[in-house]
């Protein structure tokens, strides 16, 4: 699933640089996540990095964008092919195990 930033966001700027997919940007009133770029950090990290750093816990999963692990992995691969350079540390080289 892609994640979603709610209006509880305090615009603290912490999450934006943590996103490996450049999916987070400033919206009209608070930060927003581009669901086309959010892989829930699949392919980069075990946990969503934005959720890890957000001080007010305002980043739930987006019910409008439910995706399987495999779909998230395919999105990750598409983003890589689109020109985003592979990062170094912690980079996964094989697909994650299928969700049970
Ligand atoms: S879950 Fe990961 S990919 Fe999605 S917005 Fe947060 S940091 Fe970016
Ligand atoms: S870390 Fe949380 S509160 Fe800070 S800008 Fe991101 S979503 Fe908003």
In the chain, the number of structural domains is 1
Distance 48 CA to ligand 2 centre (A): 13
Residue 83 pLDDT? 74
Model confidence, pTM? 0.84
Does residue 8 lie in a domain region? no
Distance 86 CA to ligand 1 centre (A): 16
Name the nearest CA neighbour of 34 among 44, 49, 12, 19.
19
Q: Which domain holds residue 33?
A: 16-81
Q: Atom 6 in ligand 2: which residue has the minimum CA distance?
A: 15
* Cα–Cα distance, 31 to 45 (Å, whole number): 21
Does residue 29 lie in a domain region? yes
Cβ–ligand 1 contact at 1 (below 6 Å): no
Condensed to tens digits (0 to 9), the pLDDT of residues 25-67 reads: 999 999 999 999 999 999 999 999 999 999 999 999 999 988 9
Distance 55 CA to ligand 1 centre (A): 15
Report the mean per-residue pLDDT for the chain. Answer: 89
Q: How many helices (H) and strands (E) does the chain have?
A: 2, 2
Q: Which CATH number goes with the domain that contains 49?
A: 3.30.70.20
């Amino acid at each position: 699933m892609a994640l979603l930033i709610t209006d509880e966001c305090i615009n603290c700027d912490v999450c934006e640089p943590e996103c490996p997919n450049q999916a987070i940007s400033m919206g009209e009133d608070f930060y927003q996540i581009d669901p086309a770029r959010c892989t829930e950090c699949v392919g980069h990290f075990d946990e969503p990095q934005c959720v890890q750093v957000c001080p007010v816990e305002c980043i739930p999963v987006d019910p409008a964008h439910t995706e399987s692990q495999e779909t998230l992995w395919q999105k990750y691969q598409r983003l890589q092919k689109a020109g985003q350079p592979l990062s170094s540390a912690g980079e996964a080289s094989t697909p994650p195990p299928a969700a049970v």
